[in-house]
Amino acid sequence: MTPHEILFGRLEAQSLPFWKMLQHPTVPNIVNGVIATAAAGLVIVGAILAAGLITRHGKWRVLWTEWLTSVDHKRIGIMYIVLAFVMLARALIEAAGIDPARPIITTCGSGVTAAALLLALQIVGIDNAAVYDGSWAEWGAVAEAPVETGLA
C-alpha cells in the first residue's frame, strides 16, 4: 500500500464536492459545487464546533460514560433512533426506485428545501445530485414550460 492509500483510502480529488466545478466551470457545475461545498463545509464546521464545545466544557468523560458506553436503555434508544433515521432515509430513496447512479435533481418552490434535500442525499451517500436553484418559481413563470404530474 502507498502512503496515500494508508492515509486516505479510496478518497481522491474527484470525491471532493468542488472538484467537478473546478474541472468543468459551467454555471450548473459552479452552482452545484458551491452548494455542495457549503453543505460539506457546514458539516465540518459543525463537527469542529461540537468537538470544541465538548472540550471547552470538559464533557468528553460524560459523553463517553453516560452516552456512548451507557447501559441505560433510554439513552441507547436515542442513539439508535438517530442512526435509524439516517438508515430510513437511505431505504426510502432505494424503495422509491431512485437509482443513485443516475443524476438526481431536487426542486421545490424557491430552492431552499431543494438544498436541504441535496444535503440529505449527500448524508446518505448519494453524491450524484443537483439543485435546480430556480425551482418552480422560475419554471412556473414560463407558460410554455412542460409540466408533468403524477408518479415519476
pLDDT top residue among 103 and 57? 57
Q: Rounded to an integer, what distance in angstroms lies between the CA atom of residue 118 and that of residue 138?
A: 19
Q: Beta strand 104-106 with 129-131: parallel, antiparallel or unpaired?
A: parallel
At residue 104, the 3 state secondary structure works out as: strand
**In the prediction, which pLDDT does 45 show?**
85
**In the prediction, which pLDDT does 52 show?**
93
Q: Where are the domains of the chain?
A: 17-138
pTM over 0.75, yes/no:
no
**In the prediction, which pLDDT does 28 show?**
78
**In the prediction, which pLDDT does 152 show?**
54
**In the prediction, which pLDDT does 151 show?**
62
Least confident piece of the model among 19-23, 66-70, 121-125, 147-151: 147-151
For residue 147, pLDDT over 80 is answered with: no
**In the prediction, which pLDDT does 55 show?**
93
Residue 118: partners with Cβ closer than 8 Å, 6 or more residues away: 35, 36, 39, 106, 129, 130, 131
**In the prediction, which pLDDT does 136 show?**
77
For residue 62, pLDDT over 70 is answered with: yes
User: Can you tell me the mean pLDDT for 11-27?
Assistant: 77
